[in-house]
Amino acid sequence: MHSFQSIPKRSIMVALSCATLLAAAEPTAFKGRDMGTFTSSPTNNPQIVLTEDSASGEATHLGRYKLSAHELINLATLDVTEGAFTITAANGDTLTGRYSGKASIETPTILRYEVSGPITGGTGRFSEVTGTVAFFGYADLVSGTLSETLLGVRANDVEEGR
């Protein structure tokens, strides 16, 4: 098991940096953890793979959720690009966004990644949400499993019953 205590402070600041930009919109910070699986498939470029992720977790101010995501990973540079995610809350409301970042080799079979990006939309109580989110995690290349922490700041939640 890997400890997320080692998350660099600068990476946490990326996730929380929009708090000042969203001050007038009463931002809500959230933190969660999820675990799941991923698959990878080749692209037209032999140095780039497409990965698809599926996970379940729980986060503050969100509750239990399911995560669906995909990204491109450059095997030569370990750059993570064109990431997109959908977080689905237990009631079906969704939060969507994009991300990019970097992976690094933790051990010969474990990649560590740090990615972040904007929240781009949502449904239900998240239909007007803006903000940012960051994912800090580990991917086991042998078992195809992932474990990650997510940190984010969001604003403009739609009030219940509206």
CB atoms within 10 A of CB 29: 14
Note the pLDDT of residue 20: 44
Q: Two tokens at 67?
A: 């995560």
Note the pLDDT of residue 24: 44
- Backbone φ and ψ of 92, nearest 5°: 100, -10
Average pLDDT over residues 26-51: 95
Note the pLDDT of residue 8: 55
CATH of domain 30-155: 2.40.160
> Hey, is 5 helix, strand or coil?
helix
Q: Does the pLDDT of residue 107 top 90, yes or no?
A: yes
Residue with tokens 């903000």: 131
Render the burial of 98-118: b for 16+ CB within 10 Å, e for the rest: bbebebeeeeeeebbbbbbbe
Domain locations in the chain as residue ranges: 30-155
Query: What confidence tier does 162 reach under pLDDT thresholds 50, 70, 90?
Result: very low
Note the pLDDT of residue 155: 84
pLDDT-above-70 percentage for the chain: 81
pLDDT digits (tens, 9 = 90+) for 3-26: 444 555 555 555 455 444 444 457
Average pLDDT over residues 147-159: 86
* Average pLDDT of every residue of the chain: 87
Note the pLDDT of residue 37: 99
**What's the pTM?**
0.83
Render the burial of 40-60: b for 16+ CB within 10 Å, e for the rest: eeeeeeeebbebebebebebe
